[in-house]
Amino acid sequence: AQTVTQSQPEMSVQEAETVTLSCTYDTSESDYYLFWYKQPPSRQMILVIRQEAYKQQNATENRFSVNFQKAAKSFSLKISDSQLGDAAMYFCAYRGPSGGPGTYKYIFGTGTRLKVLA
């Protein structure tokens, strides 16, 4: 069964510094997607970044980038120049086949709470 593990329940970073959130996953599939979602205190789930497994190049969105290591099944999120508004819960998620044609399932990690210190 596919699993997603976020081993850091909480992280802290100084404003303007860089922080990396870890995520590992387990799957036997070769075709899948990986995502990082941000959940600020407003509780809205906001997509931060996505990575298609077939792409070797790491995804980047402004100050957010990933280190995707397919063989190691690792998908970490790097936040550069951290800002107070980055404080949130971050969820790693996997989307892969779920059996039937055209059907998929999403699996979420348990989240990492990021605190940004002024």
Where residue 61 falls (left for φ over 0; alpha for ψ -120 to 50; beta otherwise) is beta
Site for another protein in 63-82 (CB under 8 A): none
- One-letter amino acid identity for 34? L
In angstroms, what is the minimal distance from the CB of 106 to another protein? Answer: 6
b/e per residue 27-51 (b: at least 16 CB within 10 A): beeeebebbbbbeeeeeeeeebbeb
State the number of binding residues for another protein (CB under 8 A).
22
Site for another protein in 12-51 (CB under 8 A): 33, 35, 42-45, 47, 50
Query: Segment contacting another protein (CB under 8 A): 10-18, 57-65, 80-88, 101-109?
Result: 101-109
99 part of the interface to another protein, by CB under 8 A: no
Residue from 27, 38, 118 nearest 50 by CA: 38
Distance (Å, rounded) from C-alpha 82 to C-alpha 104?
33
In angstroms, what is the minimal distance from the CB of 77 to another protein? Answer: 15
Which residues form the interface with another protein (CB under 8 A)?
Answer: 4, 9, 33, 35, 42-45, 47, 50, 91, 93, 95, 102-106, 108-111
